[in-house]
Structure 1
Amino acid sequence: MHARAVAAMTTALLGTAAFLLPSSEVRADATGTPPTVLAHRGASAYAPENTLAAVDKAAELGIKWVENDVQRTKDGELVVIHDDNLRRTTDVEEVFPGRAPWKVKDFTAAEIARLDAGSWFGPAYAGARVPTLERYMDRVERHRQRLLLEIKNPGLYPGIERQTLKVLGNEGWLDRSHLGRLIVQSFSADSVRTVHDLKPAVKTGFLGTPAVADLPGLAGFTDQINPSYGSISTGYVAAVHAFTGPHGKPLEVFTWTVDDAANARRVAGYGVDGIITNKPDVVRDAVRGR
């Protein structure tokens, strides 16, 4: 282990560095730029999450990065939705009242395409649909945005990593020009490892706050450690940065989900590389980001 990694691990384990910076301080990363701002499920404070409208809203706000969630239908189609259950963000209980518990995996793509995924958010979005991954990628490409794609619940969908990469390839997102605009992440280390093994050129992220002692193993197949903002400190971020990922660069930290200016400035002060937020305009303004 490098000396800098040992030093950073010691700082993180002491756990005191989190409180050494004023909450209003914003620290730029090593390149001198503020953290990257990523629109969580699109600009989901302003449009229904994971819909094309949320992608459009992020673009309207000038946000370059969007985050989304991918799951699989009964007939094998990849769709963009956060929950493994359709109840919270669609009218599935009205359209299919006898189909409880309304799991994504129990409905075909055609059935899901019938659902209203916007009215729950507001009448202006009535009729919005759960997009397929292909349609979502098309909209992201139209706006020339960048994508942080989360593979949700991979244990429910064996082989979803290979299938996701196939769709990305078919949509042209695995060529050299797109690889710099794509990150694939998951809460499952096995899923992240599988993506890396299948397509080593793809940048990957592991969601969560692993112990510092686990970072050396994770650094073999992930480029990022992406924790919740309440679980990190200056020392923890420094510990992550001390390790080199599979593409020869220091591991990055994209933290979630920060929706107010004070916490945005606080985590920026920790030295994070990215902030995932439902309110990307608020966070961007707070950290003087792009």
Structure 2
Amino acid sequence: MNDQRVALVTGAARGLGRSHALALAARGMAVVVDDTGAELDGTGGDPAAAEAVAAEIRAAGGTAVATTADVATHDGAAAAVATALEEFGRLDALVANAGILRDRTFAKMTLEDFDAVVRVHLSAAAYCAKAAWPSLVASGTGRIVVTSSASGLYGQFGQANYAAAKMGLLGLVNVLKQEGARAGIGVNAIAPVAATRMTEPLLPPAALRGLAPELVSPLVAHLVSAECGESGLVLEVGGSRVARVQVVESDLEELPAGDDGIAAVVAKLAGIGTGTPFASSNDALARLLSIAADPR
């Protein structure tokens, strides 16, 4: 079998995806460049967009093929993975980067726009991971990197669909890191801040100048490498800076049996300053279960 590691990068024709594809190829990986070439809202398509990036990689001496598979469908995700296996005989890494925007306030957002955004950001990542899973197991050092966002972590006005999808990806990471551990699969998330067509309307021009996508991609290259031993991380990254993001819990407070006093407990918890991180839901629930078993 070919000993060159192979990565599938979705949404790889522009912005962060293109940067990731170029960075992985520059570090010796064979890259499957997947992109439908759609507009920012997911409509239309340009079959030449993915091929342009693959050609750029090959012109620089790297190895790449292009596919226009729509990974927001079951068949499309399977086809993108199949391209890797047909061309290179293996798949070691998935970088789930595909995304669209259809921003509206929740009151004005259609359910069709909600579903479309969730499907491209969250479902497509799951579809690709599912299709790639046997190959990632066979690799022995399989890697998945999904693309979350501060919009999901903290909320962004007008992006209920996008934020729900981006936060949902963290739940996927938390489960897959556990299920993949025995097979050596590492699963991590980035929450990038970069100058792309998605962020240009939202960020001030002065900030955009210091947020090149190329400042994010080296981190992705490390996370998909065989040498990376970390899994389950959420890393906010941009402008040559990176921070870890964690969900934490406060100390437990006694909840009154009656209605009186509940408001005060909730108000106290709303002011939490620090907290304790947990590696899994079992760990997080353990203290509650111990109290339930012995409430004295």
Larger Rg computed on CA atoms: 2
TM-score between both structures, scaled by the size of structure 1: 0.35
More helix by share: 2
Q: Whose relative contact order is higher, 1 or 2, with alpha carbons under 8 Å and at least 6 apart?
A: 1
